[in-house]
């Protein structure tokens, strides 16, 4: 009897495109880089925006983000350095420090602020916007402050440190699990010459953002402050090798494949829903929001 062995062929996700982002300012003059911009929303569905900020000059961040409204999506703020104070329209407050995160579901709408609680030193971090499915656009707002110790992490045999903010990696479940979009959010610290491989679910859109050093992904160099949009070649894995000490975010999620209508801080499914959000905000309905624990 003839025997035939079969082996599973693993395909690595290649880099479809490199994105450097656009230098801009938001809030009360905070300088940042808008890495994931509105034209990329369909390609990277369910992700709507990624802002990266790294400022040592207090003039570039001290104004923070005073009161502003949101409706229809989730915000994920992840701090690398510095301290940011959160306030919202029903009196909740939280302090976000180095290595910590905040996961907020804006849902039906709320007003909040993010203000620096420091007058000097480095302020560095990221804010990611994650869309909500149409069925959940008007859920009650909720938020969760995640201190550094509450973010699970592990170190590989290669000495790569991985912090699992959302999803799961190599058997380690993240601090947050979300239905529908099933986001993966990893912060990966690679020593020079080391590598890390992360499976990406079939059909999920994925990208990386290098925020220290330089890495190689499937033959493409991805330098500091660059995003790599990963090709959707089946399920695959992302294979990252560091040419020097490097830190990289790996982000992936299940696309919603729903219409996206955005006007500033409101993200809905139709223009009429955007107009309704504006009317509700002007009528003071966001101030009456009841924020729940996530």
- Show contacts of 263-272: CB within 8 Å, 24+ apart: 265/68, 265/69, 265/70, 265/71, 266/69, 266/70, 266/71, 266/72, 267/48, 267/71, 267/72, 267/73, 267/129, 267/131, 267/132, 268/71, 268/72, 268/137, 269/134, 269/137
Three-class SS state of 230: strand
Contact 79, 131 (CB under 8 A): no
pLDDT higher than 60, residue 7: no
- Per residue in 264-293, pLDDT tens? 999 999 999 999 999 999 999 887 655 555
Contact 38, 117 (CB under 8 A): no
- Per residue in 212-247, pLDDT tens? 999 999 999 999 999 999 999 766 899 999 999 999
- What does pTM read for this prediction? 0.94
The continuous run of DSSP H or E covering 248 comes out as: strand 246-253
- Per residue in 74-125, pLDDT tens? 999 999 999 999 888 766 788 999 999 999 999 999 999 999 999 899 999 9
| 6: exposed, middle or buried (Cβ count in 10 Å: 0-12, 13-18, 19+) | exposed
Contact 40, 49 (CB under 8 A): no
Residue 143 neighbours by CB under 8 Å, 6+ apart: 86, 88, 92, 94, 102, 103, 104, 105, 291, 293, 294
| 38: exposed, middle or buried (Cβ count in 10 Å: 0-12, 13-18, 19+) | exposed
Topology given in CATH for the domain delimited by 15-285: Jelly Rolls (2.60.120)
Nearest CA among 27, 133, 130, 134 for reference residue 84? 27
Contact 206, 217 (CB under 8 A): no
- Per residue in 21-72, pLDDT tens? 999 999 999 999 999 999 999 999 999 999 999 999 999 999 999 999 999 9
Task: Identify the pLDDT of residue 292.
Answer: 56
pLDDT higher than 90, residue 9: no
Q: What is the DSSP letter of 98?
A: T
CA 224 – CA 245 distance, rounded (Å)? 11
């Amino acid at each position: 009897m003839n025997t035939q062995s079969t082996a599973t062929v693993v395909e690595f996700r290649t880099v479809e495109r490199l994105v450097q982002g656009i230098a801009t300012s938001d809030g009360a003059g905070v300088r940042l880089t808008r890495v994931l911009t509105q034209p990329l929303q369909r390609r990277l569905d369910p992700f709507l925006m990624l802002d990266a900020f790294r400022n040592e000059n207090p003039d570039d961040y001290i104004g923070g983000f005073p009161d502003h409204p949101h409706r229809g999506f989730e915000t994920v703020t992840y701090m690398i350095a510095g301290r940011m104070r959160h306030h919202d329209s029903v009196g909740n407050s939280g302090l976000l420090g180095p290595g910590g995160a905040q996961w907020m579901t804006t849902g039906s709408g709320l007003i909040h602020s993010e203000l620096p609680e420091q007058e000097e030193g480095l302020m560095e971090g990221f804010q990611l916007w994650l869309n909500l499915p149409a069925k959940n656009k008007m859920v009650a707002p909720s938020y969760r402050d995640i201190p550094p110790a509450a973010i699970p992490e592990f170190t590989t045999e290669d000495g790569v440190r991985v912090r699992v903010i959302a999803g799961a990696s190599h058997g380690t479940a993240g601090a947050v699990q979300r239905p529908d979009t099933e986001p993966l959010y990893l912060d990966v610290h690679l020593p020079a010459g080391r590598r890390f491989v992360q499976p990406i679910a079939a059909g999920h859109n994925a990208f990386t953002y290098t925020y220290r050093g330089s890495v190689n992904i499937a033959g493409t160099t991805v330098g500091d402050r660059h995003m790599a949009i990963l090709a959707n070649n089946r399920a695959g894995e992302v294979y990252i090798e560091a040419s020097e000490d490097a830190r990289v975010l790996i982000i992936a999620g299940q696309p919603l494949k729903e219409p996206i209508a955005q006007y500033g801080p409101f993200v809905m499914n139709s223009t009429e829903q955007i107009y309704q959000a504006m009317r509700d905000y002007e009528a003071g309905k966001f101030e009456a929001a009841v924020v729940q624990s996530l």
